[in-house]
Amino acid sequence: MTKKPDNKKSALHISKGKANSSNINQNFKYKRRKDLGVDDYIAGLLAGDRVILGRAISLVESQQAKDQLKAQQIIEKCLPYSGNSLRIGLTGTPGVGKSTFIDCFGQEILQAGHRLAVLAIDPSSQLTKGSILGDKTRMQQLSVHPKVFVRPSPAGASLGGVARKTRETVILCETAGFDAIVIETVGVGQSETAVHSMVDFFLLLLLPNAGDELQGIKRGVMEMADLIAINKADGDNITAAKLAKKQCRNGLHLFPPKPSDWVATAETCSALEGKGLDKIWQHIQAYRRQTTINGYFQEHRKQQAKYWMEESINEQLKSLFMSHPSIQQQFKAIEQQVIEGKISPFRAAENLIALFKGP
């Protein structure tokens, strides 16, 4: 029988150690959370401090009016420093390989000398508590890279709310020096449209059985794509993937020309084996060159800013309307009358708006 080690003598013995010295936080650069002012945030962001970036994003995501006010002040001060990035949107159904793709494709982006931020819009996160990017095991290579910042989808009452928060997060990330931003969304509902309206380049991932999948994929999503990548083009899938690429290229020809004059195409890749990703990066760079020369890149950004102003007005007006005391009191009853066919939806809306406007 082996003798039980004498803990006191063993190297494994945990000594009581010294008490923490009082100056342990002497070098802590920033004030405590409650003391952080707008200028502290700006200084931290400009220094590329990811802790400050995380905190600033939390302010943007907060529901509290006090935080919202501070977030808006920060965003405003960030605007002059923002805009200097390449914003890439990525969509595809769950399981198509988005996170595997980003994990591997991110290396191409990093090799080109960029700092990369990966954000997400996941409208289902209400129910799943963040299915997208929620899992720490996703993007294992990237999430530990010092030049990469990964942020899960914000939770929000509506897609509009989630999208606004993501757009503001882009501004914060750019101020913190991240000059390549990938915004991922799961291919459900309107989230693709939201992502498309905040990125420069829109990439759609499909599976090698795209022929079948194209039936399910909405025409509008395919039309938005600047590039379709048929992922999982490896092993037994190679032939099917090549066929899918051909079908997609044919399908893309049927759409009217894009305002960018960019001709969308399809490629195959394997995120798992890291194949074909360089070609995808080349397409993105070619897009940036072409649209910068023809002025579309800048013009598109301006149009997007206008769109977001309008969206923001819609969101804010609706929230103002719904939180009005008379509306809160009457809404359900009037809605019920509409359901029962007692009054028309238009008359109901008129009545509610009259209540909102007051006497």
Return the structure tokens found at 213: 């999948």
Does 67 engage in binding with ligand GDP (CB under 6 A)? no
Q: Please, what is the minimum distance in Å from the beta carbon of residue 104 to ligand GDP?
A: 8
Contact call for residues 89 and 193 (beta carbons, < 8 A): no
Q: Please, what is the minimum distance in Å from the beta carbon of residue 234 to ligand GDP?
A: 5
Contact call for residues 315 and 161 (beta carbons, < 8 A): yes
Binding residue for ligand GDP, selected from 175, 191, 197, 270, defined by CB under 6 A = 270
Binding residue for ligand GDP, selected from 17, 80, 95, 325, defined by CB under 6 A = 95
Nearer to ligand GDP, 126 or 131 (CB): 131
Nearer to ligand GDP, 165 or 232 (CB): 232
Does 90 engage in binding with ligand GDP (CB under 6 A)? no
Nearer to ligand GDP, 5 or 94 (CB): 94
- Residue count, binding to ligand GDP (CB under 6 A): 14
In 3D, which of 96, 95, 84, 264 has the Cα closest to residue 174? 84
Contacts with ligand GDP in 212-251 (CB under 6 A)?
231-232, 234
Does 89 engage in binding with ligand GDP (CB under 6 A)? no
Strand pairing partners for 183? 89, 119
Cβ-based neighbours of 190, under 8 Å, separated by 6 or more:
123, 159
Does 98 engage in binding with ligand GDP (CB under 6 A)? yes
Rg (CA), the chain: 25
Contact code string over 178-217 relative to ligand GDP, x by CB under 6 A: ----------------------------------------
Measured from each CB, the residue nearest to ligand GDP is 97
Q: Which stretch binds ligand GDP (CB under 6 A): 69-77, 88-96, 294-302, 345-353?
A: 88-96
Binding residue for ligand GDP, selected from 214, 272, 327, 343, defined by CB under 6 A = 272
Q: Please, what is the minimum distance in Å from the beta carbon of residue 129 to ligand GDP?
A: 16
Does 92 engage in binding with ligand GDP (CB under 6 A)? yes
Q: Please, what is the minimum distance in Å from the beta carbon of residue 170 to ligand GDP?
A: 21
Rounded (to 5) percent helix, strand, coil in the chain: 55, 10, 35
Nearer to ligand GDP, 188 or 286 (CB): 188
Max intra-chain CA distance, the chain? 92
Q: Please, what is the minimum distance in Å from the beta carbon of residue 231 to ligand GDP?
A: 5
The C-alpha atoms of residue 342 and residue 194 are separated, in whole angstroms, by 36
Intra-chain end-to-end CA distance of the chain, in Å: 92
Does 125 engage in binding with ligand GDP (CB under 6 A)? no
DSSP 301-324: HHHHHHHHHHHHHHHHHHHHHHHS
DSSP 59-93: HHH---HHHHHHHHHHHHHHGGG---SEEEEEEE-
The SS3 assignment for 117 reads strand
Return the structure tokens found at 297: 């890149």
Does 97 engage in binding with ligand GDP (CB under 6 A)? yes
Nearer to ligand GDP, 164 or 232 (CB): 232
Burial class (CB in 10 A: 0-12, 13-18, 19+), 300: middle
Q: Is 17 left (phi over 0), alpha (psi -120 to 50) or beta?
A: left
Length of the chain: 359
Q: Which stretch binds ligand GDP (CB under 6 A): 47-55, 98-106, 171-179, 251-259?
A: 98-106
The C-alpha atoms of residue 266 and residue 246 are separated, in whole angstroms, by 8
For ligand GDP, the binding residues (CB under 6 A) are 92, 94-100, 231-232, 234, 270-272
